[in-house]
Amino acid sequence: MAQKYPRRFAPLRAGAAAAGSSSSSSSSSSSSSNDLPTLQGIVFDVDGTLCKPQNHMFGQMRQVLGIPKSVDILEHVYSLPPGPGKGGQDEAMESIRAIERAMMVEQVAQPGLVELMEYLDARGVRKGICTRNFSAPVEHLLGKFLKGSVIQPVVTRDFRPPKPDPAGILFIAKAWGLVRDPAELLDPFSAAAVGGAGDAAAPAPAAAAVEDKAQDGPVERAEKAGARDTDAASGNVVTRVGDASQLIMVGDSIDDMTAGRRAGAATVLLVNDVNRHLAEHEHTDLVVEQLDELVEILEHGFTGRTIS
């Protein structure tokens, strides 16, 4: 599905709203900063995003599991008989964890990582992680490179379903208090959802906010993300869906871009020689070569590319 409007967020720089208000009084042809949604947080992938990619690790995993490159590693593990024992899920999962433990000592921070995190901390932007790694490599990276920077929640592979399902990102949104009723979800390609000008030709709100609606609607995503709550006033169980429409998902893989898009978030691809083909993918809103490029982008207002 093509995106009709580029994703946009208001500038984070101080005084941007006032400047936008002043400029809007003299010109009605473009929307001011006041018309744009405010960025509520950023969700990051880990391997290949916060640290340099360790692609050879996945080859080792497939070798020990005896599966070809065409087979998804986690899907294969979850297809095995549950529990301990030869050939079971526990044995397979521990075999890939052992590889991750060995490789995590070789982690190298992505250029611009610290600069971006310091900027986000200074601007009060919330940060979360959604990864298919298990917890040990994530904790190692945070302790080694990002001490003192608050990054919560951290969604690892223990959370199911994993990316490219949007449930992990929706869980983070809900943990940050960003929720809405499923019936109120906007079409993610409408002007209102992406920070467009809101002209008369803009599509109206729709009941679903993802592609492949028949496969994964807002209520299904809410259930996957554990988004059922008890209403304090009535005591009734209600469904509140994590609202990721004011979040950005930063990653380096198609799983990251697809999970972000299906959750309703804007997406940023950290491009490299291996994933460069994803720069033009319909799920990619913006492309950066280095993490700290986002500082200037966010400071002056995020504007994604128009996808046709």
The confidence band for 10, taking pLDDT boundaries of 50, 70 and 90, is very high
Share of the chain above pLDDT 90, in %: 66
Over residues 161-166, mean pLDDT: 94
Structure tokens at 231: 């209403």
pTM of the entire predicted model: 0.80
Structure tokens at 216: 């994964």
Give long-range contacts, CB 8 A cutoff, 24+ apart: 219-226: 219/182, 221/166, 221/167, 221/170, 221/263, 222/170, 222/182, 224/161, 224/165, 224/167, 224/170, 225/167, 225/168, 225/170, 225/171, 225/174, 226/171, 226/174
The confidence band for 205, taking pLDDT boundaries of 50, 70 and 90, is very low
Task: Give the integer Cα–Cα distance in Å for 267 and 95.
Answer: 32
| Mean of per-residue pLDDT scores for the chain | 82
Quote the pLDDT of residue 84. 85
Of the listed ranges 55-59, 173-177, 207-211, the one predicted with least confidence:
207-211
Work out the angle at residue 203's Cα, subtended by the Cα atoms of residues 249 and 255, and round it to the nearest 5 degrees: 25
Over residues 47-53, mean pLDDT: 96
Structure tokens at 18: 């006032």
The confidence band for 3, taking pLDDT boundaries of 50, 70 and 90, is low
28 contacts: CB under 8 Å, gap ≥ 6 = none
Quote the pLDDT of residue 30. 45
The confidence band for 240, taking pLDDT boundaries of 50, 70 and 90, is confident
Strand order in the sheet with 41-44: 154-155, 127-130, 41-44, 247-251, 266-270, 286-288
Q: Has residue 18 got a pLDDT over 60?
A: no
CATH 3.40.50.1000 maps onto the chain at: 16-24+35-53+107-300
Task: Given CATH 3.40.50.1000, say whether it is the number of domain 16-24+35-53+107-300.
Answer: yes
The confidence band for 213, taking pLDDT boundaries of 50, 70 and 90, is very low
The confidence band for 88, taking pLDDT boundaries of 50, 70 and 90, is very high
Which of 157-166, 208-217, 234-243 is predicted most confidently? Answer: 157-166
Over residues 169-192, mean pLDDT: 73
Quote the pLDDT of residue 297. 98
Quote the pLDDT of residue 48. 96
Q: Which amino acid is at 85?
A: G
